[in-house]
Amino acid sequence: MPSLFSSYRLGELTLPNRTVMAPMSRVRAAAGGLATPSMATYYAQRATAGLIVTEGVQPSLVGQSNPGTPGLHTDEQTASWRQVTEAVHVNGGRVFAQIMHGGRVSHPETTGLRPVGPSAVPGEGAVFTPSGPQPLPVPRALETDEVAEHVRSYADAARRAVEAGFDGVELHGANGYLISQFLSSNANLRDDRYGGSVTNRIRFAVEAAAATAEAVGAGRTGIRLSPGGGIWGVREDDAAELNTALLTELARLGLAYVHLEATTDEETLLGLRRAWPGTLVVNPTMPGGPKQTGRAEADHWLGLGADLIAFGRGFLANPDLVERLRSALPLAPVDEKTLYQGGDAGYITYPAYPHAA
């Protein structure tokens, strides 16, 4: 079994260890979706990760889910990210941008636009807006001839990401956002070539991945999935069949990796490991769940065939997480109150472990 601290070759990158900093929204972007100096510090502090995947970055204004999130669809946004990628690289790290189109998980108060989705079916729950949490509105169902525009938005954002100095991109196909909505058996009620059968429901994800791989190279393109996750009211009643078919098609593209969240049973995840011949990243815990990934969960999944292990909350409060895991040092707890409040407190103020002199 490989060690969590052994190196790994990912495309043209050599990762010094097998830890991945999972994408986590922190809503610290400046007005206009611009990256900030504090964001550069935040990611640079965590550059000992084998790979950093940033918070979700919207590829278009209508794709923005929450206020305070960064974008990659204007020249100003692209330029603002260079301070982040340069800081990570100066500190010896590697960083992918996660491209996240919220689809129906958005609100006109945030974007000034009606959200779009595969069908006019609202999600479940409340979304953050400038005036506070609001129920998710009914999205506008995309016309068939509009779908290609949203496919291209991932590729266009990926081009901007590489221009900004990112080492690659991860498409957010998980957690109830646009790609996940197209995969869904209840958010996608279409009767055209993007809905109905498994073959049709995976089409949007495959087209987005193919367009992105063509734009920036397959070795710079990953995708994150949450099989059967049920987040924001998205269901996959046929999760094993659906995701096996999706991975079979994605395998033809030669992507850098697939990133699976443990949102279904272990048997299903192991079947998906067998269906995917390339690099597999596993996040061993449910998003927002009560348990935090640690060394035991990482070693368990490395033993089951995962190549890289994604850590979420562990990296929030422990910028030196890799060293703490290596040396079996205690992990600092996350201050939940500061996750989304803005400002530097609880963002770039977590210290490294205080070794005795």
Q: What is the pLDDT of residues 79-113, one digit of tens each?
A: 999 999 999 999 999 999 999 999 999 999 999 99
> Is 348 among the domain residues?
no
Q: What is the pLDDT of residue 355?
A: 72
* pLDDT classification of 290: cutoffs 50, 70, 90: low
> Is 350 among the domain residues?
no
> Is 56 among the domain residues?
yes
Structure tokens at 157: 């954002």
> Is 105 among the domain residues?
yes
Q: Any idea of the CA torsion for 183, 302, 26, 72, to the nearest 10 degrees? A: -60
> Is 142 among the domain residues?
yes
pLDDT in tens, 243-281: 999 999 999 999 999 999 999 999 999 999 999 999 999
Residue 257 known to be catalytic: no
Reply yes or no on whether the pLDDT at 356 is more than 90: no
CATH of the domain at 279: 3.20.20.70
Residue 249 near residue 140 (C-beta atoms within 8 A): no
Reply yes or no on whether the pLDDT at 313 is more than 90: yes
Read off the amino acid at residue 292: Q
> Is 140 among the domain residues?
yes
pTM score of the predicted model = 0.97
CA dist 260 and 269 (Å) reads 8
Reply yes or no on whether the pLDDT at 349 is more than 80: yes
Q: What is the pLDDT of residue 31?
A: 97
Radius of gyration of the chain (CA): 19
Domain count, the chain: 1
> Is 304 among the domain residues?
yes
Residue 174 near residue 102 (C-beta atoms within 8 A): no
Structure tokens at 355: 């070794």
| For range 148-164, the mean pLDDT | 98
* pLDDT classification of 1: cutoffs 50, 70, 90: confident
Q: Which domain holds residue 252?
A: 8-338
* Active-site residue, from 42, 43, 177, 194: 177
> Is 153 among the domain residues?
yes
